Structure 1
Amino acid sequence: MRELVIPIENAGDPDATEMIRVWLGNGSCSISLLLGMYEDAEDCEIDELEVWGNILSDIAQHIAHGFKQSHDWDEVKTMAKLRHHFNQAIKEHAPGLEGHYIKEH
């Protein structure tokens, strides 16, 4: 099993929180999400769907930036391709996703 390291910017931060983990294995994609973090906080007026939209955007930007650094790909073109494939996948696959929501104990 191959796990990624915790980003150095978050190492040692006792308040750092893992929000998403993605695994490819056994012929499928499995995802663990920390849902409800803001909803569960007292006196919090944050729209959690806006936060997840920002997280998805950050992921795409990190992918584009990473490919720029590792393969010298154009970030604007990479973002355009990611956006295209993201929108296509949403149209083709939603609804109908299988999986289970499991509350932590």
Structure 2
Amino acid sequence: MITTHNNQLPIPNPVEADAKARELLRVWAGGGKQHVALATGLWKDPANWGIMLVDLAKHLARAYEQTDNLDQAQSLARIKAGFDAEWNSATDNPEGGIEQEKGS
């Protein structure tokens, strides 16, 4: 059973046509907390997640440039500053565990 929510983002068009496409992660804000679903076991080397996170940060910086007219390089620097600040002094610690897909 796939559960949908009115506030979920659309699936990008190129993904719709790719039978091999796979969702990597889903991050939700709800109840004052962050909730995540991860495609565990996707990569053997955790460094691949680091590459994906940097790529994601670059997409975010580009989005800020396109939607808020903020300089892409400055936005990326702010994202990295936030990452570094959270890395050095966490405001939250992950909780929970691995759950099976609904309907599995």
TM-score in terms of structure 1 length = 0.83
Q: Does 1:11 align with 2:2?
A: no
Alpha-carbon deviation of 1:94? 8.0
**What is the distance in 1 between the residues matched to 2:80 and 2:70?**
15
Residue of structure 1 in register with 2:39 after alignment: 34
Q: Name the structure, 1 or 2, with higher relative contact order (CA <8 Å, separation 6+).
A: 2
Alpha-carbon deviation of 1:97? 2.2
* Residue segments in structure 2 that go unaligned for 5+ positions in a row: 1-5
% same residue: 29
Query: Residue type matched to 2:19 in 1?
Result: P
**What is the distance in 1 between the residues matched to 2:82 and 2:43?**
29
Residue of structure 1 in register with 2:3 after alignment: none
> How many residues matched?
97
C-alpha spacing 1:95/1:64, structure 2 compared with 1 (3 Å): closer
DSSP 3-state at the match of 1:93: coil
Q: Does 1:24 align with 2:24?
A: no
**What is the distance in 1 between the residues matched to 2:92 and 2:10?**
33
DSSP 3-state at the match of 1:10: helix
- CA RMSD, Structure 1 to Structure 2 (Å): 1.8
Query: Residue type matched to 1:53 in 2?
Result: G
Q: Does 1:81 align with 2:78?
A: yes
* Residue segments in structure 1 that go unaligned for 5+ positions in a row: 40-46
DSSP 3-state at the match of 1:35: coil
**What is the distance in 2 between the residues matched to 1:79 and 1:66?**
11
| Deviation sequence 1:35-89 (CA, Å, 0-9, x none) | 11234xxxxxxx2x12101110111011100011111100111111100110111
**What is the distance in 1 between the residues matched to 2:11 and 2:92?**
32
Alpha-carbon deviation of 1:95? 8.4
Q: Does 1:60 align with 2:62?
A: no
Q: Does 1:98 align with 2:103?
A: no
C-alpha spacing 1:38/1:97, structure 2 compared with 1 (3 Å): closer
